Amino acid sequence: MAKAYDPRDRFWRKAKKEGLRARSAFKLDEIQRRFHMLRPGGRVLDLGAAPGGWCQIAAREVGPKGFVLGLDLELIARLPAPAETWVADAFAPDLPERLRREGRAPYDAVLSDLAPKTSGVRSADEARSLDLAGRALGLSLEVLKPSGFFVVKVFMGGDFESFLKQCRQVFREVRVVRPEASLARGSKEVYLVCREPRRIPESSTAPDRSTPESGVGPGGFLTPSRPGVT
Ligand SMILES: C[S@@+](CC[C@H](N)C(=O)[O-])C[C@H]1O[C@@H](n2cnc3c(N)ncnc32)[C@H](O)[C@@H]1O
């Protein structure tokens, strides 16, 4: 039998006790313990960052010489340095340019815990969620360093497999992770931990990594340019 949903479960209580703004912080904490993608002095972009739990974990890991930029449609209450926050839409067409101009891109890690407001219609919610993941993937290819990590939330089901395939085409290594804090809620969410983008746009540092097979269109955004990839 499925577990009863408990909004104040042990992760919620632990977050309160440790001064973390969201129980989801423990998801990133677990991923970090396994993959060590956040390193001292690193620069991190956190997409869908409100209320700021992931920013807190990322700031702890990169330390005072690092930088964390948390971005959300919602206002995020001020966080201490090295975290900075913007109210911004991940879909804003000028975002990559703004990140390079004012947001200290390129980054060592791009994180996405982006999630839509749920409508209750499962297929619509899954599709919207995948749109967000796709946008995060496109952005990551625009602003990641060649050695960078991309961590993205995706829901199993729907077009999950084709998204996974797309990530595998554009990153050298992709792992699928289901953190304990997601399991505890019986959630279908998983996180893809991707490292080393194969294609770096010209504005970044490694033009030799470009590959015409990536399925990524001009500007780094995903295009259904290969058979079987949507
Ligand atoms: C699950 S919450 C993130 C929780 C966060 N990781 C934390 O630890 O505090 C998902 C967030 O995605 C944001 N979001 C959804 N669509 C967005 C968009 N187009 N641009 C920016 N943020 C968006 C929502 O406003 C919401 O705050």
**Domains in the chain with CATH codes:** 10-220 (3.40.50.150)
Q: Which atom of ligand 1 is nearest to the CA of 57?
A: 8
Percent of residues in the chain assigned helix, strand, coil, to nearest 5: 35, 25, 40
Give residue 216's pLDDT band: very low, low, confident or very high (50, 70, 90). Answer: very low
The number of residues making up the chain comes to: 230
pLDDT at 126: 87
pLDDT at 120: 85
pLDDT at 124: 87
Phi and psi torsions of 145, nearest 5°: -75, 160
CB atoms within 10 A of CB 149: 27
pLDDT at 2: 55
pLDDT at 206: 36
Q: What is the pLDDT of residues 89-121, one digit of tens each?
A: 999 999 999 999 999 999 999 999 999 998 888
Amino acid letter, residue 134: G
Token pair, residue 108, equals 């060592």
Cα-to-centroid distance, 184 and ligand 1 (Å):
20
Pick from 37, 34, 13: nearest CA to 184: 13
DSSP character at residue 185: T
pTM for the predicted model, two decimal places: 0.87
- Whether pLDDT at 211 is above 50: no
Q: Which atom of ligand 1 is nearest to the CA of 48?
A: 12
Give residue 142's pLDDT band: very low, low, confident or very high (50, 70, 90). Answer: very high
pLDDT at 3: 60
Q: What is the pLDDT of residues 144-193, one digit of tens each?
A: 999 999 999 999 887 999 999 999 999 999 999 999 988 888 788 999 99
Give residue 208's pLDDT band: very low, low, confident or very high (50, 70, 90). Answer: very low
Cα-to-centroid distance, 18 and ligand 1 (Å):
21
Pocket-forming residues, ligand 1, beta carbon under 6 Å: 21-22, 24-25, 48-54, 72-74, 89-91, 113-116, 132
153 catalytic? Reply is yes
Cα-to-centroid distance, 205 and ligand 1 (Å):
29
pLDDT at 222: 42
